[in-house]
């Protein structure tokens, strides 16, 4: 049977049950309404991959651009490319293979890219052509070293810097696209050229998991072609070790001075106010000059108005974000740039973008103090996120260490809220299976939400939060699936798939689950007079999940379809398997009682792998494996 750590079990169930009831109405509203997502960062600069013009002369023929790539996950160092653009490939063929350097020279940089590793291959990304983040096939590897994917390579003699192993394994299967994000600070030099600060990796994030944090690198690493250090130098992609592919390479370089805040005065008005300038007819309780931006200039239940000038170093777009315990407004040159809709949630950011010329701009920051917290930050041309308010102005809640729910000898199931596509799913059940295979299932829509390898879930928020923030959080590199219903009745192949199912208009009946002797759940429900059982278990080698959907029909009305996969692209691969959502995961070993799936494009530019089920057959079974 399922095991949950005894002291957690009853409390976690009660909390999640109450939270689920409280969220039902909100979820129905979210099904009916769509919100425009705010801009939360300024655009990156893409490295164009129509040709090799963004790079210095490679000096060898292993580099090229392609329109698509394929790597059989079972074949070592196998990577084939098809004609086109948008993908950068290195296909080593002899001993004269070369690395690739950009024409761009950078100092501080935020860098993102997608990459693909064939089985057993090796590559790397060298910041300033000197400091390497390793790329390698480290899929499901146990003990990790600096040579593994996401590791930072040691220096050549491993004396000044022994390297840094990734904090945990986050690699995906060979032949799938993986995502890498790097935040890097270049070494600093004084006017004489003497180094005064070492290079530093602020963080490295692999497939959504932070694998490096604040790693100082005092010297170039072992594969660097240079032994000196520079303030500016090209980015290097390693191509002499094994086949590799890259796409969606984008960056932000940081070399601009900060905004200067000058000539600041403040006014305080008594009371709480919820409309900008509602206090304009009141006499100020206090006025004065300020040398910083902080709510500590006033008291709770007062409105603090800070006025002054911002001097911007460059012309361009600036993005501001604020969090506050009470209503807040930022006005620049008489235009409201950002406000928080009277929120008192000081852990939530609100964003606003504006274009500013170089020079001085009048600003006004108004805050109705309810909960003693005010933060204002900005991102601008050549400038990373920078805080304008003082550290003391931000109310800090005590950091709570993760509370990992453990999976030992038996499967574990935890029901509760799960954040999915930026919204909490109140009917989620997370299942952890011995061997490190985990998934989350939507008990309302009867579909998969997330799949991940490694550790199970963090339940610390279920102890300290209430309502929708009472989340269970997958640990490890969680792959988020669309969360759509698995089965639906469609009038025809072109009928839209149901996007969501509200709790009060659910077409599934007789819902529940039972346990196998091994303690794994079998989810069951009835749809269109068809009894359905949905069972997921680890593949024999624990590389993924095998899913088995059993159906028993009783004179159904209408054509029943099974949604096997959905995403931005779906390909049938040469080995007969399918690559789903632009090679995010594999669907393999499909058995479908003689039925054949079709790939269709739907209205939002997405693709779906659809399987029609024979309405005249009383029993049917659909079985396949999900590998990632």
Distance of CA 450 to the CA centre of its chain: 12
Look up residue 406 and give its DSSP letter: P
d(CA 443, CA 462): 19
Kindly report, residue by residue over 429-470, the tens digit of the pLDDT: 999 999 999 999 999 999 999 999 999 999 998 887 666 678
**Cα torsion through 86, 92, 97, 103, rounded to 10:** 10
The predicted structure's pLDDT at residue 494? 87
Q: Which of 413, 438, 457, 450 has the alpha carbon at shortest distance from 542? A: 438
Least confident residue range of 18-27, 119-128, 328-337, 435-444 = 18-27
pLDDT band at 159; cut points 50, 70, 90: confident
pLDDT band at 7; cut points 50, 70, 90: very low
CB 365 within 8 A of CB 276: no
Separation in Å, CA 628 to CA 73, 495, 527, 582? 10, 29, 30, 13
CA atoms within 13 A on the CB side of 379: 17
The predicted structure's pLDDT at residue 156? 84
pLDDT band at 14; cut points 50, 70, 90: very low
Q: What percent of the chain lies above the pLDDT cut of 90?
A: 81
CB 88 within 8 A of CB 49: yes
Radius of gyration of the chain measured on its C-alpha atoms:
27
Least confident residue range of 30-34, 465-469, 515-519, 567-571 = 30-34
Kindly report, residue by residue over 347-379, the tens digit of the pLDDT: 999 999 999 999 999 999 999 999 999 999 999
DSSP states along 437-467:
EEEEEETTTTEEEEEEESS-EE-HHHHH--G
Asked whether the predicted pLDDT for residue 13 surpasses 60, the reply is: no
Kindly report, residue by residue over 234-288, the tens digit of the pLDDT: 999 999 899 999 999 999 999 999 999 999 999 999 999 999 999 999 999 999 9
Q: State in Å, rounded, how far the first CA of the chain is from the last one.
A: 27
Contacts of 438-444 spanning 24+ positions with Cβ under 8 A = 438/407, 438/474, 438/476, 439/536, 439/545, 440/474, 441/521, 441/523, 441/536, 442/483, 443/415, 443/511, 443/513, 443/523, 444/501, 444/503, 444/506
pLDDT band at 401; cut points 50, 70, 90: confident
Asked whether the predicted pLDDT for residue 72 surpasses 70, the reply is: yes
The predicted structure's pLDDT at residue 21? 46
pLDDT band at 33; cut points 50, 70, 90: very low
List of domains in the chain: 6-35+402-627 (2.70.98), 45-254 (2.60.120.560), 260-381 (2.60.120.260)
Average of per-residue pLDDT values in the chain? 92
pLDDT band at 29; cut points 50, 70, 90: very low
Collapsed DSSP state (helix, strand, coil) of residue 16: helix
């Amino acid at each position: 049977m399922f095991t949950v750590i005894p002291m957690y079990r009853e409390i976690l169930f009660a909390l999640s049950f109450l939270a689920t009831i409280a969220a039902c109405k909100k979820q129905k509203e979210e099904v009916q309404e769509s919100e425009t997502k705010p801009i939360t960062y300024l655009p990156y600069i893409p490295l164009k991959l129509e040709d090799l013009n963004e790079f210095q002369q490679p000096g060898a023929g292993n580099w090229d651009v392609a329109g698509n790539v394929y790597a059989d996950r079972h074949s070592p160092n196998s990577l084939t490319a098809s004609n086109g653009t948008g993908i950068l490939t290195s296909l080593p063929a002899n001993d004269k293979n070369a690395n690739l350097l950009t024409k761009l020279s950078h100092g501080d940089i935020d860098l993102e890219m997608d990459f693909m590793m064939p089985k057993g291959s090796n590559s790397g990304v060298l910041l300033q052509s000197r400091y390497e983040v390793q790329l390698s096939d480290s899929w499901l590897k146990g003990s990790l070293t600096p040579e593994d994917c996401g590791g930072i390579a040691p220096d050549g003699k491993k004396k000044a810097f022994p390297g840094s192993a990734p904090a945990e394994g986050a690699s995906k299967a060979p032949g799938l696209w993986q995502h890498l994000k790097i935040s890097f600070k270049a070494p600093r030099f004084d006017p004489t050229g003497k180094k005064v600060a070492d290079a530093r990796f602020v963080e490295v994030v692999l497939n959504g998991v932070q694998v490096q944090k604040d790693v100082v690198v005092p010297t170039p690493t072992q594969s660097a072609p240079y032994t000196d250090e520079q303030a500016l130098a090209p980015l290097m992609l390693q191509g002499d070790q094994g086949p590799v592919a890259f796409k969606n390479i984008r960056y932000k370089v940081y070399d601009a001075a900060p905004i200067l805040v000058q000539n600041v005065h403040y006014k305080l008005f008594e009371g709480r106010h919820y409309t900008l300038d509602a206090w304009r007819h009141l006499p100020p309780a206090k006025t004065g000059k300020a040398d910083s931006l902080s709510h500590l200039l006033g008291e709770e239940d007062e409105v603090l108005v800070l006025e002054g000038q911002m001097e911007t170093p460059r012309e361009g777009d600036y993005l501001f974000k604020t969090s506050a315990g009470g209503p807040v407004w930022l006005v620049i040159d008489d235009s409201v740039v950002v406000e928080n809709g009277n929120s008192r949630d000081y852990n939530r950011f609100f964003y606003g973008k504006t274009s500013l010329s170089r020079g001085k701009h009048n600003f006004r920051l108004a805050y109705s103090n309810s909960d003693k917290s005010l933060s204002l930050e900005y991102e601008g041309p050549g400038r990373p996120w920078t805080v304008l308010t003082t550290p003391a102005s931000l109310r800090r809640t005590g950091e709570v260490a993760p509370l990992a729910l453990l999976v030992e000898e038996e499967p574990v199931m935890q029901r509760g809220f799960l954040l999915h596509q930026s919204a909490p799913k109140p009917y989620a059940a997370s299942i952890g299976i011995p061997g490190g295979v985990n998934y989350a299932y939507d008990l309302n829509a009867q579909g998969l939400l997330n799949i991940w390898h490694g550790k199970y879930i963090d339940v610390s928020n279920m102890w300290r939060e209430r309502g929708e923030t009472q989340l269970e959080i997958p640990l490890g590199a969680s792959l988020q699936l669309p969360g759509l219903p698995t089965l639906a009745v469609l009038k025809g192949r072109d009928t839209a798939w149901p996007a969501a199912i509200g709790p009060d208009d659910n077409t599934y009946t007789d819902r529940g689950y039972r346990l196998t002797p091994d303690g794994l759940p079998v989810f069951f429900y009835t749809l269109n007079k068809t009894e359905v059982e949905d069972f997921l278990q680890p593949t024999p080698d624990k590389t993924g999940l095998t899913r088995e959907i059993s159906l028993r029909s009783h004179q159904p009305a209408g054509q029943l379809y099974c949604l096997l996969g959905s995403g931005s692209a779906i390909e049938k691969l040469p080995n007969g398997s399918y690559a789903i959502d632009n090679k995010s995961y594999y669907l393999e070993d499909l058995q479908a009682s003689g039925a054949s799936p079709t790939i269709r494009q739907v209205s939002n530019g997405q693709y779906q792998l659809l399987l029609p089920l024979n309405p005249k057959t009383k029993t049917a079974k659909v079985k396949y494996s999900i590998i990632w």
